[in-house]
Amino acid sequence: MKKYCLVLALLIIHSLIIAQEVYYHTSNQTVYELLDEFANLGIIELNTAVKPYSRNFIANKLKEVKATEHSLNKRQSDELNFYLKDFNKELYTSYKRKDKTFDKRFDILFYKDTLFTFSVNPILGTEYFINDSMNFYHRWNGLEAFSYVGNHWGFYASLRDNHESDILSREDYITQRIGANYKDNEGGGDYSEMRGGLTYAWNWGSFGIIKDHFEWGNNYNGANIFSGRAPSFAHITLNLKPVSWFEFNWVHGWLVSEVIDSASTMVFTNAYGTDQRDQMFDKYLAANLFTFKPFKNLYISAGNSIIYSSDGPQLQYLIPVMFYKSVDHTYNATDNAGRNVGQNSQMFFDISSRNIKKVHLSATLFIDELSTSRFFEDTVWNFWSIKASMKISGLIPNTFITTEYTKSMPLTYKHNIPTTTFESNGYNLGHYLMDNSQEIYFSVLIKPFKTLSLKLSYLHAQKGKDYDDLGGSRLGNPFMDSVEWENKTIAFRASYQIVNDGYVFFNYLNSNISGDLDKYTASVFHGKQNTISFGANFGF
CATH number at residue 280: 2.40.160
Closest to 368 (Cα-Cα) out of 333, 327, 410, 404: 410
Work out the burial of residue 208: count CB atoms within 10 Å of its CB; fewer than 13 is exposed, 13-18 middle, 19 or more buried: buried
Q: How many residues comprise the chain? A: 540
Give the pLDDT of residue 335.
Answer: 59
Q: Is residue 194 assigned to a domain?
A: yes
Q: Is residue 399 assigned to a domain?
A: no
List, in order, residues 6 or more apart from 319 with CB less than 8 Å away: none
Give the pLDDT of residue 4.
Answer: 41
Backbone torsions φ then ψ of 196, nearest 5 degrees: 165, 180
Closest to 148 (Cα-Cα) out of 9, 22, 5: 22
Residues 540, 138: contact at Cβ < 8 Å?
no
Give the pLDDT of residue 11.
Answer: 36
Q: Is residue 56 assigned to a domain?
A: yes
Q: Is the dihedral of CA 493, 399, 459, 190 positive or negative?
A: negative
Give the pLDDT of residue 15.
Answer: 39
Give the pLDDT of residue 540.
Answer: 83
Residues of the chain with pLDDT under 50: 1-17
Q: Is the dihedral of CA 173, 176, 179, 184 positive or negative?
A: negative
Which residues on adjacent β-strands are paired with residue 155? Answer: 147, 198
Q: Is residue 488 assigned to a domain?
A: no
* Full residue range of the structural domain in which residue 375 is found: 19-124+138-331+339-394+405-437
Distances (CA, A) of 137 to 126, 164, 165, 186, 252: 7, 6, 6, 15, 36
Q: Is residue 177 assigned to a domain?
A: yes
Pairing of strands 344-353, 502-515: unpaired
Q: Is residue 117 assigned to a domain?
A: yes
Residues 343, 332: contact at Cβ < 8 Å?
yes
Give the pLDDT of residue 334.
Answer: 63
232-264 core/surface letters (b: 16 or more CB in 10 A; e: else): bbebbbebbbeeeeebbbbbbbebbbbbeeeee
Q: Is the peptide bond before 52 cis (omega within 30 degrees of 0)?
A: yes
HSE-up of 218 (CA within 13 Å, CB side)? 31
425-439 core/surface letters (b: 16 or more CB in 10 A; e: else): bbbbbbbbbbbbbbb
Q: Is residue 473 assigned to a domain?
A: no
Q: pTM value? A: 0.92
Render pLDDT for 287-343 as a digit per residue (tens, 0 to 9): 999 999 999 999 999 999 999 998 789 999 999 999 999 999 888 866 555 556 679
Give the pLDDT of residue 150.
Answer: 94
Closest to 346 (Cα-Cα) out of 264, 286, 294, 273: 286
Q: Rounded CA gap, 120 and 123, in Å?
A: 10
- Structurally, the chain folds into a number of domains equal to 1
Give the pLDDT of residue 12.
Answer: 38
Q: Is residue 239 assigned to a domain?
A: yes
